[in-house]
Amino acid sequence: MRNVSSYPEAKADYLQYFLNKGKIKPFRKEFLSLHNYDQAQFYLSLSEEERKKLYHFLSPAEMADLFEEIEEENEETEQYLKEMNKQYAADMLSKMYTDNAVDILKQLEVADQQKYLALMPKEEAGELIDLLDYKQSTAGSIMTTEFAFIFAGQTIKEAMADIKRQAQEAETIYYIYVVDAERKLVGVLSLRDLILRSDDELIRDIMGERVISVHINEDQEDVAHTIRDYDLLAVPVIDEENRLVGIITVDDIIDVIDEEAASDYSGLAAVDVEERTENPFVAASKRLPWLITLLFLGMGTSTLISRYESMVSTASILAVFISLITGTAGNAGTQSLAVAVRKLADKDNEKKNNLKLIFKELATGLVSGLVTGLVIFLVVGIWQHNFILGFVIGMAMLCAITVASLAGSFIPLLMDRLGFDPAVASGPFITTLSDLTSVFIYFTIASYFLSFF
């Protein structure tokens, strides 16, 4: 029965029954007919005891198919491997696509990595060791080395025979890369092109020579943008000598885009939005470092206000508008910040002038500040029957919004320039910082008009 995106619950109950009763034959029949993703969901729902039974029911290769679908961030992976017979685990890892196997190995202690690598066939182990060396978040660290390649001098018929031979291993055969004797990348063909041509044509004559490729040290987010912009299913990865060393497929790129979005979003809220825990103590312990840091930053604002305490006791009406000014400036700063962070994430804009962005945000802040200031001038003037007070609040609003907008664009640019991720916890940082400047601006302006309140 076909169904939308997930297999029926009843089936899971059957499978669990077969598993626990040791009925291997019906279990394998049902289980292996599932999509690997659904197999993984089933696996993740099992107890340790059940999982251990499962390892006896499935071959390392079958387990590998399932493991490809377990998310990289799963914290239990190490535990799963430990449950398996060491040789079984090593076999499974060597049957997986190299990019996914490396993701798993990276989560282990170096000693454990060595242990599994030692139990693998030499060639597989060598490939994995190479991949483990690539720096986090580069093309090299997410590529797979299982790809289909052919040579320019082959006929289509010869090439097709080569591809069929490679098809079992390759992660995709829909793009086929053409290399020369030194394995340098010289062309590309899609399988679609290939099957539409006649057998005796030469690859050289029909291949595309303008290959979109990425460099092995390129950042994974840039790779994601290349695949997205050019609507590719995969992109070849080349080294310094232009040699084809791997490919990155679109499914891995979707994960990169997801991660990138979650990380920007997390930064704007000072919390890991992928937080999986159901335990409030664990959740609080992860959020508190930010809250407490920001609390101490906020103490700066409190200290500043305390220096104006005598002013407040003379004109207590001033206290009424503190949160309005800090809040509104914070909102404007957050707007600037979000736009700037998004602009920075879109590396296509790299050539563009950052000064221009800052200037634009400054001008936008000025315009927003003027309008907001005018509105609050009228509202406060009418409400409190005091247009001097209205003027003070309006002026403070104008200045505070302008400064916050400037900070909202300047700080992420500065962080980016200094090599930090501009998105990390910058949202609350900006609002807390803008509280400080806003309060300072507010009381400084107010001090000139104290006699009118």
Would you say the C-alpha torsion 372, 375, 379, 381 has a positive or negative sign? positive
Cβ nearer to a second copy, comparing 88 with 365: 365
Give the shortest CB-119-to-a second copy separation in angstroms: 28
Question: What's the gap between Cα 321 and its chain centre?
Answer: 40
Reduced to 3 states, what is the DSSP secondary structure of residue 189? strand
Cβ nearer to a second copy, comparing 88 with 321: 321
Cβ nearer to a second copy, comparing 113 with 301: 301
Contact call for residues 372 and 400 (beta carbons, < 8 A): no
Q: What does the alpha-carbon distance between residue 120 and residue 160 come to, in Å, rounded to a whole number?
A: 30
Cβ nearer to a second copy, comparing 125 with 380: 380
Cβ nearer to a second copy, comparing 185 with 203: 185
Alpha helices in 8-118 (DSSP H): 9-20, 24-32, 36-44, 48-57, 60-67, 77-83, 86-95, 98-106, 110-118
Give the shortest CB-329-to-a second copy separation in angstroms: 10
CA atoms within 13 A on the CB side of 12: 14
Cβ nearer to a second copy, comparing 125 with 187: 187
The alpha carbon torsion through 425, 428, 433, 435 (nearest 10 deg) reads 180
Cβ nearer to a second copy, comparing 109 with 309: 309
Give the shortest CB-194-to-a second copy separation in angstroms: 9
Retrieve residue 80's tokens.
Answer: 């799963």
Contact call for residues 43 and 14 (beta carbons, < 8 A): no
Give the shortest CB-114-to-a second copy separation in angstroms: 30
Give the shortest CB-49-to-a second copy separation in angstroms: 25
CB neighbours (10 Å) of residue 274? Answer: 12
Q: Which residues of 327-366 are buried (b: 16+ CB within 10 A; e: fewer)?
A: ebbbebbbbbbbbbbebbbeeeeeeeebeebbebbbebbb
Give the shortest CB-52-to-a second copy separation in angstroms: 26
Q: What does the alpha-carbon distance between residue 130 and residue 123 come to, in Å, rounded to a whole number?
A: 11
Give the shortest CB-133-to-a second copy separation in angstroms: 22
* Pairing mode of beta strands 149-151, 175-179: parallel
Cβ nearer to a second copy, comparing 17 with 174: 174
Give the shortest CB-129-to-a second copy separation in angstroms: 26
Q: What does the alpha-carbon distance between residue 381 and residue 390 come to, in Å, rounded to a whole number?
A: 5
